[in-house]
Amino acid sequence: MNKINYLTFNWLAQKLNNENQLFVRSYIKGTVYDLGCGERPYEEDILKVADKYIGVDWGGTLHNLKADIVSDLNKPLPIDSEVADTVTSFQVMEHLCEPQTMLNEAYRILKKGGNIVLTVPFQWWVHEAPYDYFRYTPYGLKYMFEKAGFEDIRVTPNTGFFIMWILKMNYFSSRFIRGPRPLRWIIKAVLIPIWFIFQVLAPLLDKLDRHPELEAGGYTVLARKK
């Protein structure tokens, strides 16, 4: 789980990630291949319910390379077919120039009846540039997963409008923290209470959003191999 620091502008995003890990836990089992594992932040949580964790990432990652298998997710993977009980991929698919290839490969390496658990942003800022290529709607996600062969596809919004909007405002306001160190401390001292109050209010306001899927910050996709 992510450690929550309530003095930051995005602690709510970390809290939502933790809650999402609990939400998807029942879909994770057996041997897990984590595509785009980065620094393996979810390995410990995954191993609470799985038997084995294998991280896959490319050699040009902007994070510290900690992959067990180094491979470009835009290309066929050097992994045998039907070896995974679960495939996970967290906040990765937007960084792929050939995302359908990754989904096709995820389907190939999964055993029959195996699950895929994937998260992607929707209304979110450009990050890890220049390797940020796409944003996906629920309909686009369903189409791509069906094209890869998956069934029982479930796309769930991770936020509604207000959490998305307030987190984006907080990210934007954090850019004002600049200048000499004393000035940065003053600006941060003014912003921290605002960030905190907004992030406390956002989940309450989100209850007013009857269609969170329309303006979500991102989505979780759960699907199964036939």
What pLDDT is recorded for position 210?
96
- The CATH number assigned to the domain holding 117 equals 3.40.50.150
Q: What mean pLDDT is reported for the chain?
A: 96
Please say if the pLDDT value at position 1 is more than 80: no
Average confidence (pLDDT) over 31-59 = 96
What pLDDT is recorded for position 63?
85
The answer on 177 and 115 residing in a single domain is no
CB atoms within 10 A of CB 79: 17
At 60, is the pLDDT very low, low, confident or very high (cuts 50, 70, 90)? confident
**pLDDT (tens digit, 9 = 90+) per residue, 115-150?**
999 999 999 999 999 999 999 999 999 999 999 999
Domain that holds residue 171: 162-206
Total domain count, the chain = 2
Domain presence at residue 118: yes
Domain presence at residue 29: yes
The answer on 72 and 43 residing in a single domain is yes
CB atoms within 10 A of CB 56: 25
The answer on 77 and 124 residing in a single domain is yes
First vs last Cα of the chain: how many Å apart? Answer: 31
33 near 79, Cβ under 8 Å?
yes
Please say if the pLDDT value at position 61 is more than 90: no
Q: Which residues pair with 150 in a beta bridge?
A: 225
3-state DSSP call for residue 94?
helix
Distance CA 221, CA 113 (A): 16
Domain presence at residue 4: no
The answer on 141 and 198 residing in a single domain is no
